[in-house]
Amino acid sequence: LLLLGLLFATVFSSDEVWPVVLMTIFMLSVASFEAYQRPKHTYPGFIRTVIIAMTASCFPMALIMTNFVLSLGSMWWHPRYYLPMLGMLTNNGMSAISLASDRLLTQLVDKRTAIEAEMRTSSNPKQVILPIHREAVRVGMMPTLNTLAVVGLVAIPGMMAGQLLGGADPLTAAKYQIVVTIMIASTSSLSSFIVTWLMLKDL
């Protein structure tokens, strides 16, 4: 964390976009590699699928946050706002992708014989896979769903807690946290769906 703080201090002091681009590539790459390592089973090309899912779910959400919520306009890449937001989203995307992909691959391996038998006799093979796909997406979203169930009741989210400790108005902090929570939930569901959908295309 100290190294991250020093790195952010350097990036924040720059008025150029290229350090932010490098940080974006680095963060998405590390998160993708970590998500790739978690599942018990894998297959050739899986790392490519994870990178695509991570980028397609986290990067657009960070842009939506800086462009439309914070209204930074042409300075959407402002490191003080963009990088912390991307970090929160990639953390949740990484968790969702690793859980969803692990459940999907485990189900396909464990139930391979039954699935193949059903697909041979079924007029619509997609219907055979659909319950497994839904279950994998649900598992990928589970940590976020658990957090949403108690947010504001049992736990004070990190961003809101940081703003309150920094002296921000409680109502303003709550509004920002609501938006961030929605973005995190959207990223979690999107990353779970994209990675499992791409995996089924691969397989």
How far from 155 is each of 9, 150, 159, 166, 174, CA to CA, in Å?
29, 6, 12, 18, 13
Pair of tokens at residue 181? 């929570």
Asked whether residue 192 carries a pLDDT value surpassing 90, the answer given is: yes
Q: How confident is the model at residue 1 (pLDDT cuts 50, 70, 90)?
A: low
Mean pLDDT of all residues in the chain? 87
pLDDT digits (tens, 9 = 90+) for 88-102: 999 999 999 999 999
Q: How confident is the model at residue 46 (pLDDT cuts 50, 70, 90)?
A: very high
Least confident of 91-95, 155-159, 172-176: 155-159
52-63: average pLDDT:
94
Alpha carbon distance 63, 58 (integer Å): 9
